[in-house]
Amino acid sequence: MPSIIQLLPDHVANQIAAGEVVQRPASVVKELLENAVDAGASDIKLIIKDAGKSLVQVIDNGKGMSVTDARMCFERHATSKIRQAEDLFSLHTKGFRGEALASIAAIAHVEMKTKQDQEELGTHIVIEGSKFVSQDVAVLPKGTSFGVKNLFFNIPARRNFLKSDTVEYRHIIDEFQRVALAHPKIYFTFFHNGSEMFNLPPSSLRQRIVNVFSGKTNEKLVPVNEETEIVNIQGFVCKPEFAKKNRGEQFFFVNDRFIKSGYLHHAVMAAYDGLLKDGAQPSYFIYLQVPPNTIDINIHPTKTEIKFDDESALYAILRASIKHSLGQFNVAPVLDFERDANLDTPYHYKDLEGATPTIQVDGSFNPFSEEEKPNKHFTNTNSSYRRPESTSNWESLYLGLKQDSEEIDTMTFENETVTSSLFNNDEVEQAVHKTYQIHKKYIVNPIKSGMIIVDQQRAHQRILYEQFLTNITVHLASSQQLLFPLHLYFSNDEMQLISELKPSLTNTGFVFEETNDDSVVISGLPVNVSESEASIVLEQLLSDLHNGIPESSFSQNDTIAKSMARSLAVKTGTYLTEKEQENLVNGLFACKDPNVSPFQKPTFITMRVEDLDKKFAL
Ligand code: ADP
Ligand code: MG
C-alpha cells in the first residue's frame, strides 16, 4: 500500500482554522479592535458597511509594524505577544494565538496599511484568500488600518449562512461595546454605512457607560468598589428599580477583557436577593482585576470564558461588595469621587418638592364582593361587561354545590356517541356558554364529545399574534391617540433598530411623532397597548431581536407580531371573568391556526368522555 497522508497546504489549513476564529463579521470586528488595543492605540475608528458583509475597517494610531512584521503578521501562529508557554500566565494583551490575521486573510480580501512612528514610510499590503496580491511602500500616518472586504468570498456556504443585516449588525454592536467599555481611556468612533453610530471620547468609566447606553443610564448606576488580596473590583450595578425584563446590559471584565460567567452572574443576582421583582434582570458593569497567573484564558477558542483559581472566594467577595453598595445606596448618598459633575442632577431638581399625592376613591368598591376588575384585554367586545355569577369559578363549585348541579348532571351524562375525530369548531360554538377557569391558568369548557382545557396565556398569544400579523401585513391597524405624547429613551443601537422597524411598527398602530438620536416621541399606540405597556412592549421587542429570534422565523414582521403577542397576552395567574373566558375561547377558535401558540406550544387539549370513562373504570 502506498502512503496516503500528506500535510495540508497552508491556505487550506488557514481556511480550516478560520472556521474557529471567524464565525461572522462581528468576529472580525473583535479581532481587529483587540489588535488595535494591543498596539497601544489611543484612537480607534471602526467603519463597517452592510453589517460588515461588504466591509469591516479598523483604523488605529498605535505602534504600527515594520516592513517584515507587516508581512509576517499574516502567517499562522505569528505573534509578537508571547514567546514561550510560560508567557501565557503573565498575559497583558488580548491576543496571543497569532491566528486571527492568518484566518481573516484566508477568507476575505484584506488591505493593510501600517507605519511605525519613527519611520518615514509605511507598508501597504493587499492579500486575498491567503495570496499576497501586492506589497508597496506608501506615505501613511502613524498606526495601522485594516480593511476586510467580501468576507467568506471563497466559502459560499458560510456566506449564505450569515443572518440578516439586523442580526449581524447587532453582533457587531455587542463586540464594539465590549471593547469600548473595557477601555474608557481610548477614543472610539463607529460608523455604519456612512452614519456615525458611536462617538466615545476618552472619559471616566461612568461617563463611558453613559455614552454607550444613553444619558438616562447615569441615574441608574450605583458604584461598586472593593480591594482585596485576590481581586480588585470596580464598576457599577443598576438600582433595583431599574432592573429590566431582558439581560441586555450585563458585563463582566477581567483584566480589561470581556468575559461570560454564569457563576459570577449568580453572585450578582445573589446580592440583589429580595430586591428584584420576579424574573427582573439588573444591568451591571463589573471590572475585576486579578493577577494574570491566577486565571486561565485558554480554555475557550474565542476567549469569552476563563477559569479562575479561586472561584468560590471571588463569588463571596463579589456578592458581598455589591450587597454593600446596594445597601449603602439605600440608606445614605453614595460618595463617588470619580463622578463627573456634569452628570449630577441639577440642584434645582434636588430641592423641588415631590408632588402631593392625590387619593381617588372608588365609590362602588365593595370589599366583600369576590369580583375582580374586568381584564382590559377582553373589553373591546360588543357585549357589555356582565357581573360574574357567584358560582362562575371552579372553586366556588366546591363551596356551593347547588345551583349548578343540574347543569353538571346533564354535562356528565349526556349520552353522546363519541366521535374519534378531534372536535370541530361547531362543537365549541354550541357548548361555549359555560366555561370555568381553574388555577387562574386553564379554561375548562365542556363540548359535545367531552371537554377542552385551554391554556389561557398561550391561547391569548395566538389570538394577538394573528391580529398583529394581519394588521402589519394588511395595514389595517387603528391606533389610539395619546393626550400627552410619550417620550421614551433608548440607547444608540436600540434607536437604530427602532428606525429599521418603524414602518412595521407603524402598521401595528404605533404613531411616531419624532425620532431623535436617543429617544422617540410616540403620539399613538395600537388599540390593545396601554400607555404603561408601551415601553415594555418595545423593550421586549428589542430584546427579542437582540436574542436573534428572526433567525428562526425569517421575517421581521413575524418577530414583531410574536414579540408583541408575548408581551401583551394575559398571563397565567390572571383572573378572567366568565365573559372574558368565553371571548378567549371564541377568539382562539376563530384563529387560522388555533392548535398552537405562536411559539409552537399546544394551546388546548381535549378530553373525551371516553377518556374520562376509562379513568373511572380503573
Ligand atoms: P495575536 O493578536 O494573537 O498576536 P494576530 O493574528 O491578531 O495575532 O496578529 C498577529 C500580530 O500582528 C500581532 O501579534 C501583532 O504583532 C501584529 N499586529 C496585528 N494588528 C496590529 C495592529 N493594529 N498594530 C500593530 N501590530 C499589529
Ligand atoms: Mg490578535
Instruction: Record the cell numbers describing residue 75, joined without a space.
Output: 502567517
Q: Is the pLDDT of residue 267 over 90?
A: yes
User: pLDDT for 438-473, tens place per residue?
Assistant: 999 999 988 888 889 999 999 999 999 988 888 777
Atom nearest to 58 CA in ligand 1: 23
Cβ contact 436:393 at 8 Å: yes
Atom nearest to 31 CA in ligand 1: 7
Q: Is the pLDDT of residue 417 over 60?
A: no
The more confident residue out of 6 and 351 is: 6
Give residue for cell 502613524: 142
307 alpha carbon – ligand 2 mean position (Å): 20
In the prediction, which pLDDT does 502 show?
Answer: 86
In the prediction, which pLDDT does 332 show?
Answer: 34
62-66, 203-207, 300-304: least confidently modelled range: 300-304
206-329 and 450-605, same CATH topology: no
Atom nearest to 62 CA in ligand 1: 24
Q: Is the pLDDT of residue 183 over 90?
A: yes
Cβ contact 491:517 at 8 Å: no
418-432, 435-449, 490-504, 556-570: least confidently modelled range: 418-432
Ligand 1, CB cutoff 6 Å, lining residues: 31, 35-36, 39, 60, 62-65, 73, 78-81, 95-101, 144
Average pLDDT over every residue of 552-579: 81
- CB burial class (10 A; 0-12, 13-18, 19+) of residue 339? middle
- CB burial class (10 A; 0-12, 13-18, 19+) of residue 553? middle
Nearest protein Cα to ligand 1, atom 12: 73
Nearest protein Cα to ligand 1, atom 17: 73
Q: Is the pLDDT of residue 308 over 50?
A: yes
In the prediction, which pLDDT does 555 show?
Answer: 67
Average pLDDT over every residue of 560-564: 87
Q: Is the pTM of this model over 0.85?
A: no
The more confident residue out of 17 and 514 is: 514
Element (H, E) at 284: strand 284-289
Average pLDDT over every residue of 221-228: 92
In the prediction, which pLDDT does 303 show?
Answer: 65
90-104, 366-380, 510-524: least confidently modelled range: 366-380
- CB burial class (10 A; 0-12, 13-18, 19+) of residue 443? buried
Question: What would the 3-class secondary structure string for 553-589 be?
Answer: HCCHHHHHHHHHHHHHCCCCCCCCCHHHHHHHHHHHH
The CATH number of 450-605 is 3.30.1370.100
Q: Is the pLDDT of residue 378 over 60?
A: no
User: pLDDT for 531-551, tens place per residue?
Assistant: 888 888 888 888 877 665 454
Q: Is the pLDDT of residue 395 over 90?
A: no
Q: Is the pLDDT of residue 420 over 70?
A: no
101 alpha carbon – ligand 2 mean position (Å): 7
Atom nearest to 99 CA in ligand 1: 6
Rounded Cα–Cα distance for residues 574 and 570 (Å):
7
74 alpha carbon – ligand 1 mean position (Å): 9
Element (H, E) at 171: helix 165-182
Q: What are the residue boundaries of the structural domains of the chain, listed by start?
A: 10-202, 206-329, 450-605
Residue partners of 262: CB distance under 8 A and separation at least 6: none
pLDDT band at 300 (very low <50, low <70, confident <90, very high): low
Interstrand relation of 109-115 and 122-128 (parallel, antiparallel or unpaired)? antiparallel
pLDDT band at 385 (very low <50, low <70, confident <90, very high): very low
Q: Is the pLDDT of residue 425 over 80?
A: no
The CATH number of 206-329 is 3.30.230.10
Question: What would the 3-class secondary structure string for 68-121 be?
Answer: HHHHHCCCCCCCCCCCCHHHHHHCCCCCCCCCHHHHHHHCCEEEEEEECCCCCC
79 alpha carbon – ligand 1 mean position (Å): 6
Residue partners of 556: CB distance under 8 A and separation at least 6: 164, 166, 500, 501, 504, 550
Instruction: Record the cell numbers describing residue 349, joined without a space.
Output: 431638581
Note the helical H segments in 332-366.
347-351
The more confident residue out of 305 and 417 is: 305
Helices 556-568 and 492-508: crossing angle in degrees, nearest 10, is 90
70 alpha carbon – ligand 1 mean position (Å): 9
Q: Is the pLDDT of residue 2 over 60?
A: yes
Our mutation pick for probing the ligand 1 site, out of 21, 30, 33, 38, counting the most ligand atoms within 8 A of Cβ, is 38
Average pLDDT over every residue of 71-89: 84
Q: Is the pLDDT of residue 387 over 50?
A: no
In the prediction, which pLDDT does 296 show?
Answer: 81
Q: What is the chain's mean pLDDT, rounded?
A: 80
28 alpha carbon – ligand 1 mean position (Å): 13
Nearest protein Cα to ligand 1, atom 21: 35
Q: Phi/psi at 392 (nearest 5 deg)? A: -80, -10
CATH number for 10-202: choose from 3.40.50.10490, 3.30.565.10, 3.30.930.10, 2.70.98.10: 3.30.565.10
19-28, 305-314, 398-407, 528-537: least confidently modelled range: 398-407
Average pLDDT over every residue of 24-33: 96
In the prediction, which pLDDT does 333 show?
Answer: 37
Q: In the chain, pLDDT over 70 holds for what percent of residues? A: 80
The beta-strand segments (E) located in 413-497 are 436-438, 442-447, 450-455, 479-489
The more confident residue out of 164 and 268 is: 268
In the prediction, which pLDDT does 541 show?
Answer: 84
Our mutation pick for probing the ligand 1 site, out of 29, 73, 112, counting the most ligand atoms within 8 A of Cβ, is 73
82 alpha carbon – ligand 1 mean position (Å): 11
In the prediction, which pLDDT does 379 show?
Answer: 41
